[in-house]
C-alpha cells in the first residue's frame, strides 16, 4: 500500500464526542507534514466532534435504509481516502463495504464481516473464545440458567447484541434473575467475574500483523465509557491479547479488548470491539501513537514501533469540556 500524495481526506462516521481522537489525528497528520481534511458525520448538528471537522454532514440513523447510500455519497463527493469507525453501530456497514471501497482507493480501518459478526454477537464470541482456548466467563441462555438446580450467584445479565454496557444488570438471587431476564432484550446470563477490568488497545497493520498492545486498567466508568484509567505493562495480558487478535484475524486498525484479571492471575476475556475505544487517548498519550503509525502505514512508510515502548502507570482522569458554537 504505497501512497505518494500528501493530502489525506479522513472520514469519521458517527463522530459524536470523539473530540480528543480527532485532535490526535490532526496532530499526527501535522507532524508527518500531511495536509489533512477531516470529514465528520452524525445524526445531529449538536455532536461536539462535528465542530472540530473541516466539513460536517448530517445523516440518517445507522438503522435507516438510506444510511449506507448517504455515506457512499459522502465518500464519492469528498474523495475520502481513509475511514475511521468510532462506534459499534455501523461496523457491519463498513465491513461489508471494505473490499469495494478498497478497489476504489478508499481504506476503511475495519475487520472482515465475519470478524465483526463474531465481535457483535456475544454468543458467537463465547463459542469462539472457548474453541480456541481463551478463558472467558461461562455464558448461558436465560432458559439454560432457569433450568439449573444449583446456582452460583451473582450473575451478570446483558443483551447478546448490546454495546457500551447498556441494558446490563447484576442478579443476586432467583427473583432478580427472573425479573431482569424479562427486562433485558436478547438476554444472556454470564458468570460474574470478580477482578480488575482492563481495556486493551491492539494495533494491527495492513498486513494483519499485531504491532503494539497497550493494557489500561479501568478505575472508573461512566455511561459505559472509561473516565479514569491507568496504563499497565502486564506481560500476560499483552501476550494473550496479541494471540487473541491474531487467532481472530481482526484488523487492520485498532482492536479494543475487554478482560478481567482475577486474584488468581487468570485473564477472562469478555468483549472484542474492532474499532477505536473511547479511552484510547490514554494509550496514545503514553507513547503508543496509533494515529501517527496508522497514517505512516497508509502512506506506505515503515514506522518504528517498539511494542513495549510506552509509559507504564500513566493515569488518565477525564473530565467534561465544552465546544462553543455561535448560532
Beta bridge partners of 159: 187
Label residue 2 by pLDDT band (50, 70, 90): very low
Query: pTM score, two decimals?
Result: 0.94
Domains of the chain: residue spans and CATH: 7-120+195-317 (3.30.470.20), 138-189 (3.30.1490)
33-58 pLDDT tens trace: 999 999 999 999 999 999 999 999 99
| Torsional sign, CA 101, 69, 118, 261 | positive
193-213 pLDDT tens trace: 999 999 999 999 999 999 999
276-296 pLDDT tens trace: 999 999 999 999 999 999 999
List Cβ neighbours of 202 (8 Å cut-off, separation of 6 or more): 210, 212, 213, 214, 241, 242, 245, 250, 254, 255, 256, 257
pLDDT of residue 5: 54
Collapsing DSSP to helix, strand or coil, 243 comes out as: helix
Collapsing DSSP to helix, strand or coil, 85 comes out as: coil
Q: Rounded mean pLDDT of the chain?
A: 94
208-236: b or e for each residue (b if 16 or more CB lie within 10 Å)? Answer: eebbbbbbbbbeebeeeebbbbbbbebee
Q: Residue 1 above 60 pLDDT?
A: no
pLDDT of residue 164: 67
Give the residue carrying C-alpha cell 438476554.
187
pLDDT of residue 74: 98
Amino acid at each position: 500500500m504505497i501512497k505518494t500524495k500528501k493530502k489525506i481526506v479522513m472520514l469519521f462516521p458517527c463522530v459524536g464526542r470523539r473530540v480528543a481522537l480527532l485532535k490526535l489525528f490532526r496532530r499526527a497528520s501535522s507532524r508527518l507534514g500531511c495536509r489533512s481534511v477531516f470529514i465528520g458525520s452524525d445524526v445531529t448538528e449538536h455532536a461536539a466532534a462535528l465542530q472540530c471537522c473541516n466539513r460536517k454532514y448530517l445523516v440518517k440513523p445507522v438503522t435507516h435504509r438510506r444510511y449506507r447510500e448517504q455515506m457512499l455519497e459522502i465518500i464519492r463527493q469528498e474523495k475520502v481516502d481513509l475511514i475511521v469507525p468510532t462506534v459499534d453501530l455501523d461496523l457491519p456497514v463498513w465491513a461489508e463495504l471494505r473490499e469495494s471501497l478498497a478497489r476504489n482507493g478508499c481504506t476503511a480501518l475495519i475487520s472482515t464481516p465475519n470478524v465483526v459478526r463474531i465481535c457483535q454477537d456475544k454468543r458467537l464470541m463465547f463459542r469462539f473464545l472457548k474453541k480456541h482456548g481463551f478463558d472467558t466467563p461461562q455464558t448461558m441462555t436465560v432458559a439454560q440458567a432457569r433450568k439449573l438446580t444449583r446456582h452460583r450467584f451473582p450473575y451478570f445479565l446483558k443483551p447478546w447484541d448490546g454495546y457500551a454496557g447498556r441494558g446490563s444488570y447484576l442478579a443476586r438471587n432467583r427473583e432478580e434473575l427472573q425479573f431482569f431476564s424479562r427486562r433485558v432484550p436478547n438476554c444472556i446470563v454470564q458468570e460474574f467475574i470478580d477482578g480488575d477490568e482492563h481495556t486493551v488497545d491492539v494495533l494491527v497493520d495492513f498486513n494483519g500483523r499485531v504491532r503494539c498492545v497497550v493494557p489500561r486498567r479501568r478505575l472508573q466508568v461512566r455511561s459505559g465509557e472509561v473516565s479514569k484509567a491507568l496504563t499497565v505493562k502486564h506481560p500476560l495480558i499483552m501476550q494473550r491479547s496479541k494471540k487473541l487478535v491474531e487467532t481472530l484475524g481482526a484488523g487492520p486498525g485498532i482492536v479494543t479488548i475487554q478482560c478481567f484479571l482475577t486474584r488468581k492471575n487468570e485473564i477472562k476475556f469478555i468483549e472484542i470491539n474492532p474499532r477505536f475505544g473511547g479511552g484510547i487517548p490514554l494509550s496514545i498519550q503514553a507513547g503508543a501513537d496509533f494515529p501517527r503509525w496508522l497514517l505512516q502505514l497508509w502512506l506506505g512508510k515503515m514506522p518504528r514501533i517498539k511494542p513495549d515502548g510506552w509509559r507504564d502507570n500513566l493515569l488518565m482522569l477525564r473530565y467534561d469540556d465544552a465546544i462553543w458554537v455561535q448560532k
